[in-house]
Structure 1
């Protein structure tokens, strides 16, 4: 089995026709090793979200290849991509995307039901306990704080035991205390469970929880930092966001 959970090779993603095309990713080659936590940062429009979408099989590159655990995504049909995302990839977004009429327990079980699988109640409750919500299983989203709702979304992503967990600004809508709680959960999943986490973020404090930070500028990888502090990450971002006069 490959040591890399995700590998991109010379990935380019263009949008639009030749005359008005925009290059969101430009010959990006990068690997995300198993059991690691990587943050992806860069100025607005740098290609962060496009990188995540291509790596997760949500979008198809214009050229290049994406491999998930040894499976090449380029040749998969739409049905094949759907099955891969459903069975091997988890997603957590800034918006919690919980169904308001369902309890926490029912929201977590939803991916399995949509896949035609019968969720085991003990497994659903186990995952909710893992994110600190064992006493909130019957609460609906309106009865929970933003941090608790994001933890339900995290439990929902974990219920299928994904190989990779993709997070797009998972703390963007949270206060500082809730952000710390969610980031601590992500860090713990890497250290204790061996999960692979790839997180897009604009927040140096959030990114400092990762093993490494990869920087994008104009659709290209522009270096990385390993084990960096929030101050070091912020300083690097400041140099990337300087606009020439």
Structure 2
């Protein structure tokens, strides 16, 4: 299946293949993926275990290189970049949120959010960091350590940290996987609001139909291919599609 966006696409994958290993034991994680992610949209990526979800995210984010095909971010072909240039691109144009919050326990919320700027050789602007925390509803928790915050609050700090560089694309890999249902709803509502209010382009890998229902569309992968695309999804529709894919698998 080929899914393309219009000229508003911030990220494109064209005929992307990725295999691990060689010979008959090789695992073909991606098999000719064509997909575009438009600016200011929220896309969820789903599929059975081993369908290629994580590999798609890693290749799209420049964390892994495909064996074949083209990936472009803002018109820049990632294949033409050195490892150093890829690192700079990720720092400047991409944000990452993971299931494990990956906060530094000895740093305050303010210091954790400013960390990407320090790693990029910039001195964090305190007002800018405070705005990022206020943006995720933690303007009063700037001096708190991760141990003094709930799981949902820690994930909000992680989102603020991902947004501090004003990324062109935000990648979220199972961002609610370690949260209870109430905190999950809060984080998903925040991601949805960032898309609607700030125009933040977002791609989220998830296994949860409820989480996927917050997105503008859901891409379904199976055996390394995009096999379905659902716009304006409901949790019930997503669950039915996933059940069908898992039954077929």
Q: Which residue of 2 aligns with 1:122?
A: 127
1:8 maps to what in 2? 13
Q: 2:93 aligns with which of 76, 79, 88?
A: 88
Match of residue 106 from structure 2: 101
Q: Which residue of 1 aligns with 2:215?
A: 210
1: CA distance, partners of 2:218 / 2:53: 12
- Residue 173 (structure 2) aligns with: 168
Q: For residues 26 and 135 of structure 1, what CA distance do their matches in structure 2 show? A: 47
Unaligned runs of 5+ in 2: 1-6
Find the counterpart in structure 1 of residue 78 from structure 2: 73
Name the residue aligned to 1:21: 26
Q: Which is worse superposed, 147-156 or 17-26? A: 17-26
Matched residue count? 244
Residues 217-237 of structure 1: per-residue CA shift (max 9 Å, x gap)? 000001111011100100010
How big is the shift at 1:75?
A: 1.2
Paired residues for 1:41-80 under 5 Å? 41-80=46-85
* Shift of residue 3, structure 1, vs aligned partner: 1.4
Aligned match of 2:3: none
Q: Distance in 2 between matches of 1:49 and 1:157?
A: 18
Deviation at 1:190, TM superposition (A): 0.7
TM-score, normalization by structure 1: 0.98
SS at match of 1:242: helix
The ranges of structure 1 where at least 4 consecutive aligned residues each deviate by more than 3 angstroms after the TM superposition are none
Aligned-pair Cα RMSD in Å: 1.1
Alpha-carbon distance between aligned partners in 2 of 1:44 and 1:5, rounded to the nearest angstrom: 27
Q: Which consecutive residues of structure 1, in runs of 5 or more, have no partner in the other structure?
A: none
Whole-Å separation in 2 of the counterparts to 1:107 and 1:39:
27
Q: Is 1:133 equivalent to 2:105 in the alignment?
A: no
The question of 1:219 aligning with 2:211 is answered: no
Residue matched to 1:146: 151
Partner Cα distance (1:236, 1:243) in 2: 11
SS in 2 for 1:155: helix
Structure 1 position 243, deviation (Å): 5.1
SS of match in other structure, 2:195: helix
User: 1:128 & 1:45 partners in 2: Cα distance?
Assistant: 36
Q: TM-score scaled by structure 2?
A: 0.96
For residues 41 and 213 of structure 1, the distance between their equivalents in structure 2, rounded to whole angstroms, comes to: 7
**Hey, what's the Cα distance between the residues in 2 that align with 1:134 and 1:16?**
47
